[in-house]
A and B are shown apart, each in its own frame.
Chain A
Amino acid sequence: MIQKSSCYHCGDPCSEVVVLEEKIFCCNGCKQVYLLLKENNLCNYYTITDHAGIKAKGKFTGEKFAYLEDEEIIHKLALFKSRQQINLQLSIPQIHCASCIYLLEKLYLLDKGIIHSRVNFQKKEIFISFNPTITSLRKVVETMAFVGYEPNISLQDTLHTKKVNTSGNSLIIKIGVAGFSFANIMMLSFPDYFSGGTIETLSLKHTFTWLSFILSLPVLFYSATPIFKNALTGLRQNEINIDAPIALATLITFLRSYYEIMSGIGVGYLDSGTGIIFFMLTGRWFQNKTYEKLSFDRKYQSYFPLGVMVKRDQKEISIPISKLAVNDWMIIRNNELIPADAILMSDHANIDYSFVNGEKTTHQAIKGDLIYAGGKQIGASIQLKTIKSSSQSYITELWNNPVFKKTKAYKDSFVHPWSRYFTLALFSIAIIASIYWYFTDASQLLNAVTSILIVACPCSLLLTATFTFGNMLRIIGKHQLYLKNASVIEALSDIRHIVFDKTGTLNSNDRAEIIYNGNPLSESESNLIKNITGHSAHILSRTLHNHLKTRSNTNEAALATYEEHLNLGIHAHDGIQDIKIGSGHFVTGHQPSTPESSEVHINIGNSYKGYFTVRKPYRTGIEASLRTLKNQYQIHILSGDNDAEESELKKMIGEDVPMIFKASPEDKLNYIKSLQEKGEKVVMIGDGLNDAGALMQANVGIAIHDNNAHFTPASDAIMDGQSLYRLPSLLRYIQLHKKIVLAGFSFSILYNIAGLSFAVQGLLQPVVAAILMPVSSITIVGLAILLTNWAGQKLNQKILTT
Chain B
Amino acid sequence: MSAMLILIACSLLIAGSFLAAFIWSIQDDQYEDDYTPSIRMLLDDKEEKPKELFNPSNNKQ
Residues of A in contact with B (beta carbons under 8 Å apart): 41-44, 48, 84, 98, 101-102, 105-106, 108, 112-113, 115, 119-123, 131, 133-134, 165, 169, 172-173, 176-177, 180, 183-184, 187-188, 201, 203-204, 207, 211
Contacts and interface: CB of A to CB of B under 8 A. Distances in A.
Nearest to A214: B12
A112 B19 contact: no
Nearest to B31: A172
Contact of A122 (B33, B40, B42, B44): B33
Given A131-B56, A169-B27, A44 B40 contact: no
B59 A112 contact: yes
7 contacts: A112-B54, A113-B56, A121-B36, A173-B27, A203-B1, A204-B4, A207-B8
A172 B27 CA distance: 10
B36 A122 contact: yes
Contacts of A173: 22-23, 26-27
B26 A122 contact: no
Given A98-B43, A134-B61, A184-B15, A120 B1 contact: no
A258 to B, nearest CB: 20
Nearest to A188: B8
B22 A176 contact: yes
A41 B49 contact: yes
Contacts of A133: 56
B8 A211 contact: yes
Contact of A115 (B1, B16, B54): B54
A134 B59 contact: yes
B32 A101 contact: no
A201 B54 CA distance: 65
A165 B32 contact: yes
Size category of the binding interface on chain B:
20 to 34
Sorted from nearest, which 4 A-B pairs have the closest CB atoms? A121-B36, A131-B56, A180-B19, A120-B33
Contacts of B27: 169, 173
B2 to A, nearest CB: 9
B23 to A, nearest CB: 5
Nearest to B40: A101
A106 B49 CA distance: 12
A169 B56 contact: no
A101 B35 CA distance: 11
B36 A48 contact: no
Contact of A172 (B18, B19, B26, B35): B26
Given A169-B26, A172-B26, A177-B19, A102 B43 contact: yes
Contacts of A180: 15-16, 18-19
B40 A84 contact: no
Given A42-B48, A113-B61, 18 more contacts: A43-B47, A44-B43, A98-B39, A98-B42, A112-B59, A112-B61, A113-B56, A115-B56, A120-B32, A120-B36, A121-B39, A122-B36, A131-B56, A173-B22, A180-B16, A184-B15, A207-B5, A211-B8
B29 to A, nearest CB: 8
A176 B39 contact: no
A105 B40 contact: yes
A105 B26 CA distance: 23
Nearest to A102: B43
Interface of B: 1, 4-5, 8, 11-12, 15-16, 18-19, 22-23, 26-27, 29, 32-33, 35-36, 39-40, 42-49, 54, 56, 59, 61
Contact of B35 (A42, A44, A102, A121): A121
Contacts of A113: 56, 61
Contacts of A177: 19, 23
Contact of A176 (B5, B26, B45): B26
Contacts of B40: 101, 105
A177 B16 CA distance: 10
B49 A101 contact: no
Contact of B36 (A115, A119, A165, A176): A119
Contacts of A204: 1, 4-5
Contact of B47 (A44, A101, A122, A184): A44
A780 B7 CA distance: 35
A176 B22 CA distance: 8
A172 B29 CA distance: 12
A123 B35 CA distance: 10
B16 to A, nearest CB: 8
B56 A134 contact: yes
A632 B44 CA distance: 57
Contacts of A102: 43
A198 B5 CA distance: 18
Contacts of B61: 112-113, 134
Given A115-B54, A172-B26, A41 B59 contact: no
Nearest to B12: A184
Given A43-B47, A169-B27, A176-B26, A121 B54 contact: no
Contacts of B23: 173, 176-177
A558 B5 CA distance: 96
Contacts of A105: 40
A183 B16 CA distance: 12
Nearest to A123: B33
Contacts of A207: 5, 8
Nearest to B61: A112
**Which of B43, B44, B46 lies at the interface centre, i.e. has the most chain A CB atoms within 10 A of its CB?**
B43
Nearest to A98: B39
A217 to B, nearest CB: 14
A139 to B, nearest CB: 11
Contacts of B29: 169
A195 to B, nearest CB: 13
B33 to A, nearest CB: 5
Contacts of B16: 180
A211 B33 CA distance: 37
Contacts of A172: 26
B1 A201 contact: yes
Contacts of B43: 44, 48, 98, 101-102
Nearest to A84: B56
A101 B38 CA distance: 11
A130 to B, nearest CB: 9
A172 B32 CA distance: 12
Contacts of A188: 8
B36 to A, nearest CB: 4
Contacts of B59: 112, 134
Contacts of B35: 121-122
Contacts of A44: 43-48
A102 B43 CA distance: 7
